[in-house]
Structure 1
Amino acid sequence: MAASGRAAGPEVIWARPERAGRGPRPAFTRDEIAEAAVRIADESGLAAVSMRRVATAVGCATMSLYNYVPSKGDLVDLMVDLVGGEYRLPDRPSGDWRADLLALAHQEREMIRRHPWMPGAVLSHNFLGPNALRYMEYCLAALEGSGLDDGLKLELISLVNGTVLAMASAEQAAAEQAKESGHSPEARLAAQTGYLRTVVGTGRYPLVARALTRGAPAGDPDEVFARLIGRVLDAYEASAAPGTG
């Protein structure tokens, strides 16, 4: 407890020194511990990551692990930031901020496919570690000529990330439903399409019928992804100062 009688506030794991100035050299680094946790999550999901299981993976006693990582929350923060290091960031932006952000969105989508547990972890753990700051610095550099003020730049970065997380989560859910049902995503889509044709044919849902009839086809998932991210970028480009971007 703090001297005032109130519990001390949360402490960011990166604010703690990884190694004390004195004492024996640590047997493991935080990155090694996070790598072990990421492997477990990739194989079995985030719920399978426990301090005991990670301690076993790195070869130490569970209580010893707390000397490196004080809590499970700190461990997840380290995992999220470690995966964030997978972004392949060019030395400098291209000068086309839309293309740069779209390229990063594609990278994020592939990252989530490699680490399906990421959406849930990111939504519940939002401390910015070194790799997240590296990513944000690059994004802000890419947006330098966009004509957006700094507040809108941060808002746009957050919205693009959130859109990718939502779309990737929907893809994961569809794949999981297909796996559980034993039918392919294409077969499930065909069944849904047939049902909709029957229902809208009754005339009870005229607006739905019109939208489905006149609306453009969804198209290839990669094209849909690029189109939706593009619409987010369109909205912010329209907010840019005249004569910029």
Structure 2
Amino acid sequence: MRFDVVTLFPDLFAPFLTQGITRRAYESGQVDVKLWNLRDHAEGTYRRVDDRPFGGGPGMVMLAEPLERALGAVASARADAGALAGPVVLFTPTGRRIDQALVREWAGGPGATLLCGRYEGIDQRVIDRHVDVELSLGDFVLSGGELPALTLLDAIARLMPGVLGDEQSHLQDSFEQGLLDCPHYSRPELLATPEGELPVPPVLLSGHHRDIARWRREQSLALTARRRPDLIAAARAAGRLTKADEKFLASLDSGTL
């Protein structure tokens, strides 16, 4: 899949694409990322890409014409390379919140053109003409679309074959089964602290795989019920909770556990 990123700050992406385990997805070409500097498509001595908003008010608005030229160049390059057009994505607080279901869907798609806005936003005429999807990280405001773009790329890259050390790793992640992940422990078995030694839960040392799986499931259910009850409700509505799950959740509610 191919992602074309239109940004004023392409240098922000280079270290990210060459570091960490997800670099395997970029180096292998499974996730092909092309960076486009918006200023290369601006005119004039200063390559200006923003101006004051009509109607007055604070801040600046990204100009339509450089964005039009950049998106046209991206579309031509994708066509010349034989890549599917894919959607044009704008990162904005007004967009759909990125979640694991969206990431899984996009991990099997052709990629997209990622448009990273700045300032007060981009000229609405560009959105009306070109943008197919608006996405958001959450209910807060960032300085630009670069961090959401990097977040989406990372989430997709880690789902590519051969990227994670264990092909099953991502299946246990938070949200993959509609719940939060369970706690994890490693060496040493006893952690020395000023308050005393902290042990690993004995079930994890037992070697009984069924007991371990059930403990992890219950820990996941308990954590999700405590921190994200909306996910429990969604899992229940989707029929993803077993009778054993419901019995455990009932014990939490009654305080009998």
TM-score by length of 2: 0.28
Q: Which has more strand, going by share of residues? A: 2
Q: Which has more helix, going by share of residues? A: 1
